[in-house]
Amino acid sequence: MPIAFVLINAEMGSEEALIKELKQLDGVKEVYTVYGVYDIIAKVESDSMEKVKETITWKIRRLPNVRSTLTMIVIES
């Protein structure tokens, strides 16, 4: 099953609201607030890589308080 981890930079002070929005998206299985360069990590999982990419491109990246993202796609073995 295709999986990706999306590292997200959020607008300052919007992290809690953004986490609530992320948790409601289909395909987003886990969401964590983290310290460091990025503010949030989201685990995206779906039955096809196309759906994973659509979730990231058309849902996560389009959320109003997302400043930038970095996506890491898990290599299937």
Average pLDDT, the chain: 97
- pLDDT over 90 at 77, yes or no: no
pLDDT at 76: 83
> What are the angstrom distances between the C-alpha of 12 and each of 34, 38, 70?
14, 11, 18
pLDDT at 40: 98
Q: What is the pLDDT of residues 41-52, one digit of tens each?
A: 999 999 999 999
Beta strands in 11-64, from DSSP E residues, in sequence order: 28-33, 40-45
3-state helix, strand, coil in the chain (%, to 5): 25, 35, 35
Mean pLDDT, residues 55-59 taken together: 97
Phi, psi of 8 (to 5 degrees): -125, 135
Please, what are the domains in the chain? 3-73 (3.30.70.920)
Taking the whole predicted model, whether its pTM rises above 0.85 is answered as yes
